[in-house]
Amino acid sequence: MKPLFVSLLSDEATDAARFGPKAANLAALCQAGLPTPGGFCLDAQAYRLQLDENNLSVRPNVNIVNAVRAARLHAIGMRLGFLEQPIATPILEPLLEVWRLLKQTTDTVVVRSSALVEDQAGSNFAGQFESFLDLKNQTDYQTAVRSCWAALWSTRVLRYMATHDLNAADTAMALLIQPLVKANVSGGGLSQNANGEMVISATWGLGSAIAQGEIVPDRYVLSRDGAVLETDAGRKNHQVDCVHGMQSVKTDLVNTPCLDSTQIMELGELLLKAEDIFGDHVEIEWALDSEGIKLLQARPLCVETAHVPDEIWLQHPRLNGHPAGVGWGTGRARVVTCECQLSQVTPGDIMVTSMASPAHSHVLSRVSGVVTELGGSTSHFASLARERGIPMVLGVMNATTDIPDGSTVAVDGVAGVVRWMR
């Protein structure tokens, strides 16, 4: 039997069929000499072994959309089975050995999903699964592992799978187990936009504030030769760190750029190197700690050419924001100021809202575009919109108050422009 755990530096770690594309991609970066946190991969076979050892029976063809009651009851049973049953002995022993190895060099461990269907072109699952940070004892560590397995059966994931013709019964969950990067600054990057430029986003602290679309991050645009073309300081009102959790950002830092020119150019170089490794455009997540920049993730990136709008739209009011990078769409504005109003969004609407998190991904199946007041080009929701070709503009100040509900709206997800007819 092949080992359940391998180091990210191992040649085996690049086997996406065992460890999932997320882990395999990170291993490829690791082995190419790019800076990463390092760590270990847990084989998806451990997930299957946990099923067998605890007599968890997977029902084939689970479809939570078409067979709602039966599917949900089965999904609940699967989640509870993973959460309540102890980790099987053949898995637990190597799991604790990895814990001991990591604790020799770090005081805080991270457990991250790496599903076999994750981080692929057409199904990136951005923000759909679970990651657990700041794990300081073995009890929390084991709970995090079981919770990541259970997340494969969450309602959110099953809905996402249904829209991509995927089934939880046909796949499995591998894991990444790594030291936590105690980031001072974190963000994402796109190796190419519609103009052939690179785009970097950044915020103070851990990257979850960007991923969840909770703030407007800094936005830096670079040419392919590394020249900084544009610096747009965001609205970073709060940050997340591993000690205090969420906290307010000092007033003088809210609109202060997080990165200097040297750091921006270093990230540009890493984006180009990642492109060379994968042979295609990429989206990355990164973190900067006291030791320097570390790459946390890389996934395929969809790039679209710019759209030339009809002249009639040029006569109407506009707002600017951060483009998600794909699409041009028009429709009726549906201003959503409360999560309870999501049910009012009908097919063909343009959803205008303060913040869109990955939890709202089910809305993408029925909208023609999305406009948000918070968020940036590398948020998880932006990744999901790119995947489906849905035009999206983020970080649009006062969108929910300036854009009239019910008006006709045009969203340019490449240029980052929103217009409406009064």
Domain of residue 417, CATH code: 3.50.30.10
End position of a domain, from candidates 273, 300, 327: 300
- Boundary-marking domain end, from 149, 179, 209: 179
Classify burial at 102, counting beta carbons within 10 Å of its beta carbon; exposed 0-12, middle 13-18, buried 19 or more: buried
Instruction: Name the domain boundary from 243, 266, 300.
Output: 300
> Does residue 155 lie in a domain region?
yes
Stated pTM of the model: 0.89
What are the pLDDT digits (tens) for 152-168? 998 888 888 888 888 88
- Answer yes or no: do 156 and 269 share one domain: no
306 is a domain residue: no
Are residue 332 and residue 290 in the same domain, yes or no? no
Same domain, 191 and 166: no
Domain identity same for 201 and 279: yes
Weakest mean pLDDT among 172-181, 195-204, 344-353, 382-391: 382-391
> Are 114 and 26 in a shared domain?
yes
Residue 258 belongs to what domain range?
185-300
> Does any domain span residue 305?
no
Query: Please, which pLDDT band fits residue 244 given cuts at 50, 70 and 90?
Result: low
Angle CA(22)–CA(23)–CA(29) in degrees, nearest 5? 95
Q: Is 347 exposed, middle or buried (0-12, 13-18, 19+ CB in 10 A)?
A: exposed
Q: Are residues 38 and 175 in the same domain?
A: yes
Residues 205 and 95 reside in one and the same domain = no
111 shares a domain with 32: yes
Instruction: Give the CA angle between residues 324, 330, 333 to the nearest 5°.
Output: 90
Q: Are residues 67 and 85 part of one domain?
A: yes
C-alpha closest to that of 188 among 267, 247, 110, 259: 267
Q: Is residue 128 included in any domain, yes or no? A: yes
119 occurs within a structural domain: yes
Same domain for 23 and 112, yes or no, is: yes
Among 7-11, 27-31, 112-116, 322-326, the minimum mean pLDDT is found in 322-326
For the domain that residue 222 is a member of, what is the CATH number? 3.30.470.20
| Count: domains in the chain | 3
Q: What is the pLDDT of residues 181-204, one digit of tens each?
A: 999 999 999 999 988 999 999 999
Closest of 384, 28, 7, 18 to residue 172, by C-alpha: 18
For residue range 16-66, list pLDDT tens digits in order. Answer: 999 999 999 999 999 999 999 999 999 999 999 999 998 887 766 666 555
Q: Give the mean model confidence (pLDDT) for residues 244-251.
A: 80
Specify the CATH number for the domain of residue 143.
Answer: 3.30.1490.20
pLDDT of residue 224: 93
Q: Is 289 a domain residue? A: yes
28 plus 167 within the same structural domain: yes
166 shares its domain with 294: no
